[in-house]
Structure 1
Amino acid sequence: RQEIRQILEEEYTKQGKSYWDSHHEIYLETEIILKREKWQKGILPREFEHNIVFIYARAFLYALDAFDKFLGVLSREENVPEVISELHKKISDIFPDLRGVRNTAQHLEDRSRGLGSGKPPKPLDLKPIDNNFISAPGGVLVLNSLNGSKYGSTMADGHYGEVDVSPESMSHLQEILNNILGSFKWHGSKQHKPSV
């Protein structure tokens, strides 16, 4: 940083510009050059490193929601074992806030303006929150938060909801999927999946 600043100060001086008049410009240009050099060497900005975990949490949330929706559709198809409906209900029992948290993640443009659902969206009536992460007796708008392994946000009804993004959640999902596959009568040769 110091070397870059010194080079820039010399350039500005050669152009007849006063250091004091160009101080902010030199500082900004120094930061830009330094950051670009670091980025070219593969050093990620702190903001990117910090947000990676949120990207993975939302990916898990969206995948879980898609699984739930597919299972809901499957449960209404003809000739599908009755246990499928029970397994679909089990997802809402294990992840009661799934749809609400997912909807907030998908509609941040409304929640960030304090709006819930509906057309037109209604103002949020924020509910109290009291957990090991947030204590807000009067309610507070929470978006895109991680409380340990729980991804959470204020849902359209004003309540704070969370979905656990953890190996335990994946284990529940795996059990449900295995029960779904085991409930059908399969024909054909046995196969082992996934591939190598």
Structure 2
Amino acid sequence: MKIFDLVRPGRSIIRPQAESRMEYGPLLLLHDLAMYFADANLALHLFDEAQTAQQEFAAYEYSGVAREDTRKEVMPAVPGCMLNRAPHMHSRSFLYALDNIHNYLQILSKMAGVPPAITDLKTEFEQVFGGNLKPVRNSAHHPEDRVRGLKTNEKPIDIQPSAFMAFGSDTTSVHTGSIGGPGIANEVLRNGNRYGGLLADGTYGEVEVSAATMAACQDVLQQVFDAFIWTNSDFDWVVYPYHVAIMGKEQVAAYANAIKKTVVPS
């Protein structure tokens, strides 16, 4: 199993004063970002394992050389139909974990006092998926609509030619030929690891379930973590506006470093 880790530069962060005592600080969101990133990492591992099991089962089924007396030894413990569904299940888990990360980045980028770079990093995260992450997630979450060729508001989808062209012999699907014409599918895995389907705008969209996707997300999220000023104390440091106004951000960080309670990213 390949592990994609995130380096947390400290235990807590220096942040501006919260507008309300009930306001959740960015540290909580950063904690959850790391949690959902771990979910995506695990989902990718389970996806790869499921694909291997599926391929081994297919090789056995079509080999024609297995003897009856060895069948129980090589046959999987679960039916083939379940093995065939496992890659789809884990690819959806991968997709949902990444969508959760995107939602957290959207909220984090709008919080008062967070580093300005967070907004650009949110955009960079979106560009990893070419704008497909949210639309593909929406379709995955509403298969009862997509399989009927409908948007979530029950309006019909104007299916585009590109959606028909997306489905070929390298595709495994749940439903084919059921909406708008032959070749349209509700949920597919193209080329083995591209999870996709019909989108609400009538086009086809997909997200690659791969180590390359994880690495690209890892790069963006590490920059998100590094954008904050971290401290090794047990609690968030609340920096009041007048402190920043008088001292400036660099001076606040220098003071925190001087008393050996912070780690400031380079």
1:125 aligns with 2:158: yes
- 1:115 is paired with a residue whose SS is coil
Deviation at 1:51, TM superposition (A): 0.9
- Closer, same or farther: CA 42–159 of 1 in aligned 2, 3 Å: closer
SS of equivalent residue, structure 1 residue 186: strand
The gaps in structure 1 that reach 5 residues or longer are 1-37, 191-196
Counterparts of 1:24-35 in structure 2, within 5 Å, are: none
Contact 1:115 1:124 survives alignment (8 Å): yes
1:65-144 to 2 correspondence within 5 Å? 65-95=99-129, 96-118=131-153, 121-129=154-162, 130-131=165-166, 133=168, 140-144=183-187
- Of structures 1 and 2, the one scoring higher in RCO (CA 8 A, sep 6+) is 2
Name the SS for the 2:205 alignment partner. Answer: strand
The percentage of counterpart residues that share the same residue type is 36
Q: How does 1:52-71 map to 2 (within 5 A)?
A: 52-71=86-105
TM-score when normalising by structure 2: 0.51
- Which one-letter code corresponds to 2:158 in the other structure? D
What are structure 2's unaligned runs of at least 5 residues? 1-71, 170-176, 234-260, 262-266
Give runs of ≥4 in structure 1 deviating > 4 Å: none
Superposed CA RMSD in Å reads 2.5
TM-score (norm 1): 0.69
- The residue number in structure 1 matching 2:79 is 45
Q: Secondary structure at the match of 2:230?
A: coil
Q: CA 1:124–1:131 in 2, change beyond 3 Å: closer, same or farther?
A: closer
Give a deviation string over 1:37-70, Cα, whole Å, max 9, x none: x8xx972110111111111110000000000001
> SS at 2:185's partner residue?
coil
Partner of 1:160: 204
**CA distance in structure 2 between the aligned counterparts of 1:73 and 1:139, rounded to whole angstroms:** 41
Number of residue pairs matched?
148
Residue 231 of structure 2 aligns to a residue whose secondary structure is coil
Larger Rg: 1
What is the CA deviation profile of residues 66-95 of structure 1, one whole-angstrom value per residue up to 9, with x for unaligned ones? 000011000000011111111111122111
In structure 2, distance between residues paired with 1:75 and 1:154 = 30
Give the distance between the partners of 1:132 and 1:47, measured in 2 at CA: 21
